[in-house]
Structure 1
């Protein structure tokens, strides 16, 4: 007979005696005589009836019984009930703690349905706070993943709707639709009206923000229809009706915004009133729920007082009868206590072992967390030290060389100083771009774009831009592009440029009096696409075997015995992450002292012939062949001088406006071929000025010329009527290509 069977036998004997004894006293049966499941069901029913305190009491009583029996599955369900009670009463910290406990027991008992529900519940609590929203989104995705494995449609829809609502609140409409689209496929006739209401309401918001107004109105009307019907359904409890009124308010708000965007302000106002009316109705039902809670608690308290009074009277009347029975039972109790003590000692020993194992695991976790914290602290210190050094070095050069130039040295020295000054400026810009780029990648803000570009022009442009570095180390660069490749491709040219600039720049830095080979080979060619292999090879110092994996980590640098090379160590980390964005990997072959070879494969689409012809027509206009008249709108005097001189040097005529108001006046009075518009200016900024200009002039190209990060400003610029964006500081060749492309488009209209 094993321990569990022995324990159950002894418990059976004890319970038989105690049941007989308690029945003779006409008292209520004890907790252990009822099944744990029945207590779980009672706790859930009390929760649905707003009797949260009573529900908690029953759940905690069941918890003790489940802990005693080591019933992990029941423990998972009980902690879920307890957590939900705390969540309803807005005690989120306690709710989160109990949901996590429930998840541990659900996982240990392999309760997949409960685990699916708990991920959704945890996500709901975590997304309430800004600091934990990302974790909440992860839990929603896990809930959907588990529900998909269970093929449980209702549970699949729930996290999809929650994710859709979350991304809409963050103005990430592409991600919102990625989650709402599969939800549409999962909805069927038997789905609950609440699910249908929420989905249609969210689709209405999505299409409103993507400017598909007819679709938006269609989905909003469906949402309103479902919600209105359910507010009149007598089978719904007050809490559910309150939820439907909240959904109605949300749908009316969306409809108000829809009419406001269509400039029907009367209807927008009418639906805004309906929104507020339904918010008030929802609050009225919330008040009814709170009142029910108070009434239930008051009735429970009165009932408990009556029970205590009756029990007191009963005990007084039966005290005499009990005396003669106590002497008989005392002997039995002594025996039972002895048995219970033995069982308890054995069980405590097992419990101590279990707790000891838990403590060991927790200690391991704490040690791991401590090591991680120390690593993060070290990384932070290293980052500050490295970036501080790398910023100060070129800044020293900029300040020092500027001072020397102001002393008016001879012509030969002046050219040398200017070349060094430009090198320091370029180095500073590359450093800042690297830090910003790494930050954007690690926060998932970088998304690949599709634009038409010429691969040969791109590579030759990169090599030309690195001419100073090539010249300083006396290197020769060889470019070889497979003849099978039509050099005009469709893909993200900016990300490819960033990858190649870092790889070619490294090859030039770590090679002296040597060669750099840049090869592009076609390894797969289809009717509409290529898979291209890019190879950057050098015969420089090479990379030691033990460093070849770590060089792709942040701040990693290659060093040899004789010299150290400047740099932040961010370049290859950025390269690796950008290539992974393309669903590819970077590979390396290198021997110390023999050189290095980096290679990776990328997928690109072929360009449709008509697009290629159009592109060439626009970009092959030679710069400066026409005396184009350009308006520069910028409040910064230095920026005015720089832009004006670059344009004049290439045969352009320029006028200057120091703010948006002056620009509007000048465009009304004079014809310009192009406007270069700064964004941040006093009196009226560039975005506001463009809005006004587009009311009377729709054809003159307006390009934003700004130092603001492109990802932050492009959508705003296009939405107010600008044609393109140039980010300062810019490459002069790309600057004129952008100008010519926009002027040529206007000329061809």
Structure 2
């Protein structure tokens, strides 16, 4: 009753202020702002009562006022609210237009919280269209913005929507993770509606994963909560899910009972909504009810309750089936009774194994997600570092600056490779990383590593000693990049834990047969050393000598794990010798094939000549689609240095519109952006332009998802940060292939 009085008061204030303003002929901003809030409140009340068209009318009036007083924030919110109503009354195209209007305003004023809400509604809209892949992109963007703004309480609903899309795609393990997060947040913030729905959907997921007991428990808990909170829609959802679970478990009578409850409640809800809609929209709503997800449901209802004869036949068959099963159970009772205790014990053990397995899988996923997030964030600044370094080296730097720039370039190249290996640490542990053998000079390679780390050693007051065995060949055939990574990790560790001391790097031959050599590498230091009890765990991921060592010296504890994995891939072995306070020696042995030195490799190119200089690029345009401002600047500078003109947009929607109106030779498309992803934007472009060259420009290593790039329609992939030579080579090939430029 108190809520009713509140709305009466709001309406009186609204009408009094309206009458006063009309009488005085004024356009008072404060009065208009009050009118705006009253109209929004009235629209909310209309929606809660099912009066959607009245709600839409009030929101449109509110929008007119927001435009009149230039309230951008309210304009964006109202467009989103209008879209939500349009979505409910089955006007998806109009809803999409309203959402795009909302996003345009919210991006303009950096209204990230409401932009996140709009992305969530966008996701619902694409789920309604059964375009679940695009919906997932929007849900991911929504969660990202909510996390950015520290608005955790809003994330539960998006996780729930995301889980529903994953269920539709039959990606049940991923859906389970999203539902677990939704349940945790909903409980924390007392969100009964989201919690009950998440529990019910969790029951559905566990049923699909054949965990029938947990499926039943979750769904029943969600239904009880929905009933206690009078959440009719969730109750109806719970009836349907429980019907399916009981059917899968063979409890056909319970399945029929729940399905009947679902049918009755669905009819009741349909009648209520039909009454709330205007006469001219009744037919349209009923049509919508029978479409999309509800069409399949209606067919199921029709099959089960086609007529009373079918119902009677079903009942008779159910009774007969139950009777047969009862007789069979009695006949097998004695035999089963003997096995009962054994089976119970096995079942208990099996449950424990399942729980342990699920915990291990969760831990593995958490670790993989952490590594993926961290490495992606590192790549963004690294793109700027390597890009600017290459440009500075090409701009005739002063002679004393060249060594510093080269050292920076070497470190950047190594860091990029290191990041890639961290991202793929699970692959390394699974021995799935491929070798990339080539001819190289081993002695020079070790020289470069020592030179790159010499500054760090000098800072610690540590002297580096290098001994390369006499008569040992220098030129070998092998994966030089992985050998560099191993040496940098081990030598870097030695420097970190050795202050005012010495470090020795030694390379010796163990044995030789024809061109096959087995070499031993030693990295010895006289630093702090490692205790005996810690030595057995040093090669495990995230392992450090102790908490105190971690705090004092830093590091992630991943280095030695990666080293061990790489050495195993190289068909070698590693071991260590250490005493606390006396220092540490790491030994690793790997096979390498001798290769006769290629004199051509010693040829030094003093001045690089770009092939682009021979092309007429005056009419050739490139579109860069990138949301990061630093990356935009770096990419533009690199392209301008090649005499290439480019336009820049910061989201997928604008990219699609630009391609429709402007002729571009190449599109450089970032993958992860707010709104639709680069993958989805490319799919849309391919619906009307099959010939345009589109490169995926991404800061994430996605070897496992290469098929997605092919399916989306990309011509090639350029991984950020990229080597300028490789970037230029790919652009040159694309440009000359189009016959749009002349040499």
TM over 0.5, shorter chain: no
Q: Which structure has the larger Rg?
A: 1
The higher relative CO (CA closer than 8 Å, separation ≥ 6) is in 2
TM-score calculated relative to the size of structure 2: 0.39
TM-score calculated relative to the size of structure 1: 0.38
